[in-house]
Amino acid sequence: MWQELDIQQGDKRSLARAITLVENEYPGFEDYLRSLNGQKDIPVIGITGPPGAGKSTLVDQMIRLLVEKGERVAVLCVDPSSPFHRGAILGDRVRMSDWYDHPSVFIRSLATRGHFGGLSQKMIEITELLRSTPVDRILIETVGVGQSEIEIAGLADTTIVVVVPEAGDEIQAMKSGLMEIADIFVVNKSDRPEADKFVKDLHMMMSNGDHPQIPVIKTIANQNEGTLQLYDAIVEHQRSPALSDKKAWLMTEKVWELIQSYKMRTVNKEKIREAVKDQLASGKANIYAVVDEFKAL
Amino acid sequence: MWQELDIQQGDKRSLARAITLVENEYPGFEDYLRSLNGQKDIPVIGITGPPGAGKSTLVDQMIRLLVEKGERVAVLCVDPSSPFHRGAILGDRVRMSDWYDHPSVFIRSLATRGHFGGLSQKMIEITELLRSTPVDRILIETVGVGQSEIEIAGLADTTIVVVVPEAGDEIQAMKSGLMEIADIFVVNKSDRPEADKFVKDLHMMMSNGDHPQIPVIKTIANQNEGTLQLYDAIVEHQRSPALSDKKAWLMTEKVWELIQSYKMRTVNKEKIREAVKDQLASGKANIYAVVDEFKAL
């Protein structure tokens, strides 16, 4: 099964199949991942931001630009918004469908949590898989705000946070979370009248001394404006001296995640469920009694 | 230190101190949590939904109603939007400041990740702590969308999802994630012209057979409209026969989280960091080599 997969030569069908097998934790998937051993230092670009910011349109334009520059691009679209669904919600991803059949582009949606591990584990594994294929750049788009940024920040060398010009207290609060993970800010839909004020505010928020100067790029993704400037900012970030520290941090976080998922394999959730039912049936609800029963396994 | 904390008698200052000690994983905090052993079956109500939906105003009105009914209320405000900050972003939480000094109300913000574990572990532990105090109801508000719902859905007996009447593809996609965790839907700001159509759409989305009929409550939180109807819906959900299954599921998830954090204590992140640096310095970037070195610890 595994030996037929010719992903290191760039066979897209093999790659798609390999991802499915890893996603579903087909027996031997970890040995397979280990065996690849060809993980090259391919730039991983993360694109995140709140809903409706135009991330997918921007990714679409980025693919176009990279393909025009002769690059081979792998795109991973991660949708953590539906925790209990198996399978990705496509939503506005169809916009990128122009590229599905292009020979230089590989696109994959991901929302599956593995049986053993969570979505971040799968993101790490599939990114490692992609790094073993002949691509020049990996783009990872995540929908959503909240903890999903930790996941993308834990994966991408360069994290792009896409926002649109708007106000609101909670958006402000969220931005300070986004600010901590952003290597580049994109203000999309920047033809809106309030855009300039917004960009100014953004610069002001970031000039409190704690943060290094983060570039702010204005784009109008659906008119393909600003894409080139964004590309230049990415290239510059990829060259920055701080990147090697970030890569070490990233890899540490990934190792941590993978160890965690490995350690939990010996814990049988079904048995916990039984113990919990017994605990509840006995009229008690002492969570630590059940934890203590299983923690040594 | 710990023995001075008189939380089971309802001393608010002791409770605040106990939470701080647990939050910061002061030595002995787990034994302390075990020793409480007085976890009562107190209803835990989760309030979540996208930014700007008016969750805090709604929580404010809920506190008012519960206090008028003579209940003692504990409120936990969780802000996962800033993964790297220590300490909660207050933001619009100040709206609830009326209640900070009320004898029947205990309010606490939480955004700290423990040294050992993550935010969900801390949420579980602090909820267990609150359940050991003489309160009648626990409200947990989480800002944000994305994975934070898993956390609130993994904590609350009754999960209220607050949305506002608006459209957009991505919001739609997200709603289907929210739908899976909602026990009650609140359409806030329902005096907006498009509210009725929105409520109708919501009912239609939910009538695909997969979901049980989820109540939809229209509110205008800043005019205190709909709060009583929401209260009734909560009480009804708390009486529903399906709740005991959900409680067993919840407790299983909590046990899983706590075991995970326990197992990872033996893994030294600093040592991983060193190994990663060596790996990167050697020109390789084989993540599995580092994983294999540490996973057996």
Angstrom CA distances, B34 to A19, A287, A291, stand at 43, 9, 10
Alpha-carbon distance of A201 to B162, in angstroms, equals 29
User: Among B255, B267, B297, which would you mutate to test the A interface (most chain A Cβ atoms within 10 Å of its Cβ)?
Assistant: B255
Q: Check whether A162 has a pLDDT greater than 80.
A: yes
B125, with CB counted inside 10 A (0-12, 13-18, 19+), is buried
Band (A112; pLDDT cuts 50, 70, 90):
low
Residue B269's pLDDT is: 87
- Residue A130 CA to residue B140 CA, distance in Å, equals 40
Tell me the one-letter amino acid at B17. R
The DSSP secondary-structure symbol of A113 reads P
Of A84, A92, A295, the CB nearest to B262: A295
Query: What's the gap in Å between the CA of B231 and the closest CA on chain A?
Result: 25
What is the band of B69 on the pLDDT scale with cuts at 50, 70, 90?
very high
Q: Which of B33, B66, B62 is nearest to B224 (CA)?
A: B62
Kindly state the tokens that stand for A233: 């900012």
Chain A residues in contact with B263 (beta carbon < 8 A): 260, 263-264, 295
Q: How far is CA A40 from CA A8, A17, A83, A244, in A?
A: 11, 21, 31, 15
The C-alpha atoms of residue B142 and residue B148 are separated, in whole angstroms, by: 7
Q: What element of type H or E holds A45? A: strand A44-48
Record: contact B146-A146, CB cut-off 8 A: yes
The minimum CA-CA distance between B226 and chain A, rounded to whole Å, is 23
**What residue type is assigned to position B219 of the chain?**
T
User: A199: which residues sit within 8 A by CB, 6+ positions away?
Assistant: A165, A187, A190, A216, A218
pLDDT surpassing 70 at residue B176:
no
Find where tokens 């630009």 sit: A65
Helix (H) or strand (E) holding A75: strand A73-78
The whole-angstrom separation of Cα A149 and Cα A49 is 8
The average confidence (pLDDT) of chain B is: 81
The per-residue b/e assignment along B27-62, b for 16 or more CB within 10 angstroms, e otherwise, is eebbebbeebeebeebbbbbbbbbbbbbbbbbbbbb
Cβ atoms of B46 and B127 within 8 Å: the answer is no
Query: What pLDDT is attached to residue B30?
Result: 86
A93 to A107, A170, A180, B101, B173: CA distances (angstroms):
10, 27, 27, 49, 11
CA dihedral for B57, B60, B65, B68, sign (positive or negative):
negative
What's the CA angle centered on B140, arms A145 and B9, to 5 degrees?
150
Minimal Cα distance from B80: which residue of A? A146
Confidence band (pLDDT; 50, 70, 90) for B143?
low
- The closest of B206, B174, B151, B140 to B51, measured between CA atoms, is B174
What pLDDT does A15 receive? 94
Cα Rg of chain B, angstroms: 21
User: In this predicted structure, what is the pLDDT of residue B134?
Assistant: 92
Query: Which residues of chain B does A180 touch, with a Cβ-Cβ cutoff of 8 Å?
Result: 82-85
B254 to chain A nearest CA, in Å?
8
Which among B112, B143, B146 has a CA at the least distance from the CA of B126?
B112
Q: Measured between beta carbons, which residues in chain B are less than 8 angstroms from residue A291?
A: 255, 258-259, 262
Query: Cβ of A291 and B255 within 8 Å?
Result: yes
Confidence of residue B171 (pLDDT cuts 50, 70, 90): low
Report how far residue B24's alpha carbon sits from residue B20's, in angstroms, rounded to the nearest whole number: 6
Average pLDDT, whole number, for chain A?
81
Q: State how far residue A102 is from chain B, nearest Cα, in angstroms.
A: 26
Place of tokens 């050991």: B132
Instruction: Compute the distance between CA of residue A184 and CA of residue A284 in angstroms, rounded to an integer.
Output: 51
Q: Is B269 left (phi over 0), alpha (psi -120 to 50) or beta?
A: alpha
Among partner residues A128, A264, A280, which is closest to B287 by beta-carbon distance? Answer: A128
Convert the pLDDT of each residue in B240-271 to its tens digit.
988 888 888 888 888 988 898 888 888 888 99
Nearest chain A alpha carbon to B37: A286
| Cα distance between residue A147 and residue B213, in whole Å | 29
Find the mean pLDDT for residues A77-84: 58
Q: What pLDDT is stored for residue B294 in this prediction?
A: 87
Read off the pLDDT band of A269 (50, 70, 90).
confident
Out of B173, B254, B259, name the one closest to residue A294 (CB): B259
Average pLDDT over residues B91-110: 76
* pLDDT tens per residue, range B206-242: 666 555 678 999 999 999 999 999 999 999 999 998 8
Q: What was the ipTM of the complex prediction? A: 0.76
Say if residues B247 and A279 touch (Cβ distance below 8 Å): no
Return the higher-pLDDT residue of A202 and B64. B64
Q: What is the DSSP letter of B72?
A: -
